[in-house]
Amino acid sequence: MDTISWDEYEKVELRVGRVLCATIFTEAKKPAYVLHVDFGEELGIKKSSAQITALYKPEDLIGKLVVAVVNFPKKQIGPLMSECLVTGFHNESGEVALCIPDKIVPLGTKLL
Protein backbone atom coordinates (compact mmCIF):
# COMPACT_ATOMS: atom_id res chain seq x y z
CA MET A 1 0.00 0.00 0.00
CA ASP A 2 1.31 3.43 -0.95
CA THR A 3 1.29 6.07 1.74
CA ILE A 4 0.33 9.70 1.27
CA SER A 5 1.01 12.71 3.42
CA TRP A 6 -1.67 14.46 5.44
CA ASP A 7 -1.30 17.45 3.13
CA GLU A 8 -2.07 15.24 0.11
CA TYR A 9 -5.15 13.79 1.83
CA GLU A 10 -6.45 17.27 2.67
CA LYS A 11 -6.42 18.15 -1.05
CA VAL A 12 -9.03 15.49 -1.84
CA GLU A 13 -12.54 16.99 -1.63
CA LEU A 14 -14.88 14.14 -0.68
CA ARG A 15 -18.33 15.67 -0.34
CA VAL A 16 -21.88 14.49 0.28
CA GLY A 17 -24.43 15.00 -2.46
CA ARG A 18 -28.00 13.91 -3.24
CA VAL A 19 -28.84 12.14 -6.49
CA LEU A 20 -31.45 14.20 -8.35
CA CYS A 21 -31.55 12.24 -11.60
CA ALA A 22 -30.27 8.85 -12.76
CA THR A 23 -30.53 7.69 -16.37
CA ILE A 24 -29.06 4.83 -18.35
CA PHE A 25 -25.83 5.89 -20.06
CA THR A 26 -26.57 4.22 -23.39
CA GLU A 27 -23.32 5.37 -25.02
CA ALA A 28 -21.06 3.94 -22.30
CA LYS A 29 -18.76 1.01 -23.16
CA LYS A 30 -19.61 -0.70 -19.85
CA PRO A 31 -23.09 -0.55 -18.25
CA ALA A 32 -23.41 2.74 -16.38
CA TYR A 33 -25.77 5.49 -15.31
CA VAL A 34 -25.49 9.24 -15.72
CA LEU A 35 -26.09 10.80 -12.32
CA HIS A 36 -26.93 14.42 -11.57
CA VAL A 37 -25.84 15.04 -7.98
CA ASP A 38 -26.69 18.12 -5.90
CA PHE A 39 -23.85 19.19 -3.61
CA GLY A 40 -25.63 22.23 -2.18
CA GLU A 41 -25.32 25.96 -2.78
CA GLU A 42 -21.51 26.17 -2.79
CA LEU A 43 -20.86 23.47 -5.41
CA GLY A 44 -24.21 23.08 -7.14
CA ILE A 45 -25.20 20.15 -9.34
CA LYS A 46 -22.53 17.97 -10.95
CA LYS A 47 -22.77 15.09 -13.45
CA SER A 48 -21.06 11.73 -13.10
CA SER A 49 -20.92 8.40 -14.87
CA ALA A 50 -21.33 5.53 -12.41
CA GLN A 51 -20.91 1.82 -13.14
CA ILE A 52 -23.40 0.75 -10.47
CA THR A 53 -26.05 -0.94 -12.64
CA ALA A 54 -25.67 -4.38 -11.07
CA LEU A 55 -26.95 -3.33 -7.64
CA TYR A 56 -29.08 -0.25 -8.34
CA LYS A 57 -31.97 0.73 -10.58
CA PRO A 58 -32.22 4.38 -11.67
CA GLU A 59 -35.43 4.94 -9.70
CA ASP A 60 -33.79 3.58 -6.52
CA LEU A 61 -31.02 6.18 -6.74
CA ILE A 62 -33.23 9.28 -6.73
CA GLY A 63 -32.88 11.06 -3.38
CA LYS A 64 -29.99 8.86 -2.21
CA LEU A 65 -27.05 10.52 -0.49
CA VAL A 66 -23.67 9.66 -2.01
CA VAL A 67 -20.02 10.52 -1.36
CA ALA A 68 -18.04 11.85 -4.30
CA VAL A 69 -14.68 13.40 -5.12
CA VAL A 70 -15.56 16.85 -6.44
CA ASN A 71 -12.13 18.32 -7.22
CA PHE A 72 -10.76 15.97 -9.86
CA PRO A 73 -10.42 17.54 -13.29
CA LYS A 74 -13.47 17.01 -15.51
CA LYS A 75 -13.23 13.81 -17.56
CA GLN A 76 -14.75 13.15 -20.97
CA ILE A 77 -16.50 9.77 -20.97
CA GLY A 78 -17.98 9.29 -24.43
CA PRO A 79 -20.41 12.17 -24.94
CA LEU A 80 -20.55 12.94 -21.18
CA MET A 81 -18.27 15.39 -19.36
CA SER A 82 -18.03 13.82 -15.90
CA GLU A 83 -17.61 16.45 -13.18
CA CYS A 84 -17.20 14.29 -10.08
CA LEU A 85 -16.37 10.72 -9.05
CA VAL A 86 -19.07 8.95 -7.05
CA THR A 87 -17.39 6.50 -4.67
CA GLY A 88 -18.16 2.89 -3.88
CA PHE A 89 -16.77 -0.50 -2.91
CA HIS A 90 -16.60 -3.77 -4.86
CA ASN A 91 -18.43 -6.66 -3.24
CA GLU A 92 -17.39 -10.34 -3.50
CA SER A 93 -18.87 -10.51 -7.02
CA GLY A 94 -17.11 -7.36 -8.24
CA GLU A 95 -20.31 -5.29 -8.21
CA VAL A 96 -20.09 -1.72 -6.92
CA ALA A 97 -21.93 -0.75 -3.72
CA LEU A 98 -22.12 2.99 -3.13
CA CYS A 99 -20.29 4.68 -0.29
CA ILE A 100 -23.11 6.46 1.54
CA PRO A 101 -23.50 8.25 4.88
CA ASP A 102 -25.68 6.33 7.33
CA LYS A 103 -27.29 9.53 8.67
CA ILE A 104 -28.61 12.69 7.01
CA VAL A 105 -25.96 15.39 6.70
CA PRO A 106 -26.08 18.74 4.87
CA LEU A 107 -25.37 18.65 1.14
CA GLY A 108 -21.77 19.57 0.37
CA THR A 109 -20.45 18.42 3.74
CA LYS A 110 -16.78 17.44 3.45
CA LEU A 111 -15.60 14.04 4.64
CA LEU A 112 -13.22 14.51 7.57
Instruction: List pLDDT tens digits, range 11-64.
Output: 999 999 999 999 999 999 999 999 999 999 999 999 999 999 999 999 999 999
How much is the pTM? 0.94
Reference 68, options 81, 55, 84, 83; nearest CA is: 84
6-98 topology per CATH: OB fold (Dihydrolipoamide Acetyltransferase, E2P) (2.40.50)
What are the residue boundaries of the structural domains of the chain, listed by start?
Answer: 6-98
